[in-house]
Amino acid sequence: MMSKRLVNMRRQLDFSEPWSIFKVMADFVNGFDTLKELGPSVTMFGSARTKPDNKYYKMAEELGFMMAERGYNVVTGGSNGIMEAANKGAFRSGKAKSVGLNINLPFEQKSNDYLDIDMEFDYFFSRKVMLVKYSQAYIIFPGGFGTMDELFEALTLVQTKKIFPIGIFLVGVDYWAPMLEFIKHSMLSEGTISQEDFDLIKMTDDLEMIARYTEDQIKSKLTDMEEEDLTDLDAYQRLKEFLEDR
């Protein structure tokens, strides 16, 4: 019997697998079907390696609790570290759903123990769509390559107006400041991004500000949808009801 690692290697190297398109479709169908009734959510990203005694773990747990108390479902990658902390906070609140969207990897990556909805995806790109689709804010805690990938994917989606503008927050000023300096003094100075693009990023350790800004963004989103005559959409009705119930 082949190991999980070997199965994944064969899948990556075998280019004669047209039937794999059905696995891609299954990822999307399962995701949309499971999450279609989810309602307003925030997505929290960060390293799976962060330990419970780390200050960022504690901040992520506090923010997960805070956002769930305000009625936002908390969505993460479903694994350990920052993801576990955010789910733990939301699960402790009990006023919203704690959602984990895990990924099938060659090495074992277990879901954390604080999930109301626990899903596993075969492909990063389909999982990423689900991580951002229902979110009213992207909250990025310190992390590695995967976290960076998710951050810049979110920035690109907002920059290119593929999604409504939403808050993109970097939590951990000490951690993110050098990267933001690079973006400002290299990318912005060279003109590879605009000032408007740079302003999409909100770096803060003020968790209350994140909650306030997210609600303001929802109000702005509703106004934009009204101006564009999109009030017949289910998304508009859900957001309006969400604010009215608060």
Q: Which domain holds residue 57?
A: 38-207
Position 1 scores a pLDDT of 54
Asked if residue 43 is part of any domain, the answer here is yes
Q: What is the DSSP letter of 49?
A: T
Q: Is 13 helix (H, G, I), strand (E, B) or coil?
A: helix
Asked if residue 27 is part of any domain, the answer here is no
Position 7 scores a pLDDT of 61
How far is Cα 48 from Cα 174, in angstroms, rounded to an integer?
Answer: 19
Asked if residue 246 is part of any domain, the answer here is no
Please tell me the total count of domains within the chain.
1
Position 11 scores a pLDDT of 59
Asked if residue 181 is part of any domain, the answer here is yes
Q: What percent of the chain is predicted at pLDDT more than 90?
A: 72
Asked if residue 220 is part of any domain, the answer here is no
Asked if residue 219 is part of any domain, the answer here is no
CATH number at residue 109: 3.40.50.450
Position 110 scores a pLDDT of 84
Position 92 scores a pLDDT of 97
Position 223 scores a pLDDT of 93
Mean pLDDT of 159-185: 94
Asked if the model's pLDDT at residue 4 lies above 90, the reply is no
Asked if residue 218 is part of any domain, the answer here is no
Asked if the model's pLDDT at residue 13 lies above 60, the reply is no
Least confident residue range of 1-5, 29-33, 176-180, 229-233: 1-5
What band does 174 get if pLDDT is binned at 50, 70 and 90? very high
Segment 27-67, tens digit of pLDDT: 899 889 999 889 899 999 999 999 999 999 999 999 999 99
How far is Cα 194 from Cα 197, in angstroms, rounded to an integer?
Answer: 5
What band does 139 get if pLDDT is binned at 50, 70 and 90? very high
- Between residues 179 and 164, the one the model is more confident about: 179
How far is Cα 71 from Cα 175, in angstroms, rounded to an integer?
Answer: 29
Q: What is the DSSP string of 87-115?
A: HHHHHHH-SS-EEEEEE--SS-----S--
Segment 141-171, tens digit of pLDDT: 999 999 999 999 999 999 998 888 789 999 9
Position 20 scores a pLDDT of 74
Asked if residue 184 is part of any domain, the answer here is yes
Asked if the model's pLDDT at residue 107 lies above 70, the reply is no
Position 166 scores a pLDDT of 85
What band does 3 get if pLDDT is binned at 50, 70 and 90? low
Tokens 């009213």 correspond to what residue? 136
Q: What is the DSSP string of 187-222?
A: IIHHTSS-HHHHTTEEEES-HHHHHHHHHHHHHHHH
Q: What percent of the chain is predicted at pLDDT more than 70?
A: 91
What band does 122 get if pLDDT is binned at 50, 70 and 90? confident
What band does 9 get if pLDDT is binned at 50, 70 and 90? low
